Amino acid sequence: MNVLSFYIAKEILKGSFIVLLVLLTLFNLFTFADELKDLGKGHYGLKQIFYYLTLTSPRVLFELVPASALIGSLFVLGAMGNNRELIAMQASGLSVLGIIKAAMLAGLVLVTISVLIGEFIAPLGEKLGQKIKMSAINEQIIMNSKYGIWLREGSSYINVRQAEDDGELSDISIYELDEQHHLRRAAHADKASFLGKKTWKLENIKQSTISTEQIEVSQQAEQSWKSSIAPNLLKIAVVEPNNLSLYDLAMYVQFLKGNHQKSHTYEAAFWGRAVSPLTTFVMLLVSAPFVIGIHRGISVGARIMIGVTIGMGFNIIDKIINHVGLIYDLNPPLMALLPSLTVFAIVLYAMKKAQT
C-alpha cells in the first residue's frame, strides 16, 4: 500500500468519524427530547435519561455507520476533487481503481469497528438501557433476568417467562403471601391474554392453596385475573432483535423454528444485521462516480445534501422492502440483499457512464 492510498483512507476515516459523531449527537438530542415526556414518571429523572442515552448510543452508532461512510467519503473525495488533489494523484500514477481501493480499505476499518460494537456492545447496552428505563418508570418491576421478568403487586409476586409482541403472556407463575410473609397461594398458567379494564384471562391454571394443616391443589381451564399490570409494562420481557447479537439471533431463530413458532421477523433482523457490512462498502462505492468524473465546483453543502439524500432514500427503500418481505413472507436473505444490490448496480452504471 503506497503513501497516497494510505492518505486517502486516513482522510475518509477522519471524515466518516466526524460525520458519525455529528449524526450520533443529533439522534441523541432528538431521543432526549422524546424521553422528556416520561420525565417524572416513577423514578425516571434526568440521571436515568442520560444513562439510557449512553447505553443505547452503541446501537444507534452501529446503525449510522453506513450513512456516515457515505457522507464522509463524498465530503472528503469531493474536497480532494475541488482542490485538484485527485488530478495530482492520478498524474503521479495512482489510478481511479487505486483511489476506490483506498476507499474500500477505509470501509474495512469502519466495518470491523461497527461489527465489534454491533455484536458485543450494542445488544448488552440496549438491554440494560431498556431495563433502566422500564424499571424506573414502573416500580412494579423488581427483576429482569434470563428466567423472565419478576413483578410485585401488593402482596403478590408474578414471574412471566415469555411475553409476545401482541401482549400475550406465556408461562406465568403467581405467588401470594400472607401478612406474615408466608406463602399462601401459588398458581401457574400456561397463557394469559389481556381483556382490558385491568383484567387478564388465564388459561390452563394449576393452583395450590397452602395452610398450616394442608395443601389443596386445583386445576381450571380458564380463569379471570384482576391485575393493574398493563401489557406495555411487559415489553421489557419481549425478546427484541436490537437486544441480540448476530449469533443470538441465529440461535433464537433456530429455537422458534424448533418450537414451530413464527420466526420471520427475527430472520429478517438476522439477515439485515449480516448484510450491514456490505451496505457500508456499497455506500463508500457511491462516491466512485464522483471520483471518476472529478466534479469540481460542487460546494460542501451540495455534497452533504447529495449524501443525505442518497442515505435517506436508501434507508426508506430498505425499510419498505423489509416490511413487504414480512407482510408477504418473502425470502429474508433476498429482501436484505436487494437494496444493496440495487444501489451497487446503479453505481456500476454511473461509473461506466462517467468513463465514457
Tens digits of residue pLDDT in 152-187:
888 888 888 877 766 688 889 999 998 888 899 999
Distance CA 30, CA 26 (A): 6
Domain boundaries, the chain: 3-137+239-355, 142-228
Is there a contact between 149 and 141 (Cβ–Cβ < 8 Å)? yes
pLDDT of residue 110: 96
Count Cα neighbours of 237 within 13 Å in the Cβ-side half-sphere. 29
Residues 6+ apart with CB under 8 A from 4: 89, 92, 94, 98, 102
CA atoms within 13 A on the CB side of 65: 29
Check residue 326 and give left, alpha or beta (phi > 0: left; psi -120 to 50: alpha).
alpha
Residue pLDDT, tens place only, 266-323: 899 999 999 999 999 999 988 777 666 555 556 666 766 777 788 888 888 998 998 8
CA distance 241 to 226: 31
For the ranges 109-113, 310-314, 334-338, the lowest mean pLDDT is seen at 310-314
- Confidence (pLDDT) at 18: 96
User: By three-state DSSP, how is residue 45 classified?
Assistant: coil
- Sequence-separated (6 or more) residues with CB below 8 Å from residue 346: none
* Among candidate residues 33, 22, 70, 91, the one with its CA nearest the CA of residue 311: 70
Backbone angles phi, psi at 153, to 5 degrees: -140, 100
HSE-up of 18 (CA within 13 Å, CB side)? 12
Q: How far apart are CA 345 and CA 351, in angstroms?
A: 10
pLDDT for residue 300: 61
Instruction: Specify the pTM.
Output: 0.79
How far apart are the C-alpha atoms of 239 and 314, rounded to whole Å? 27
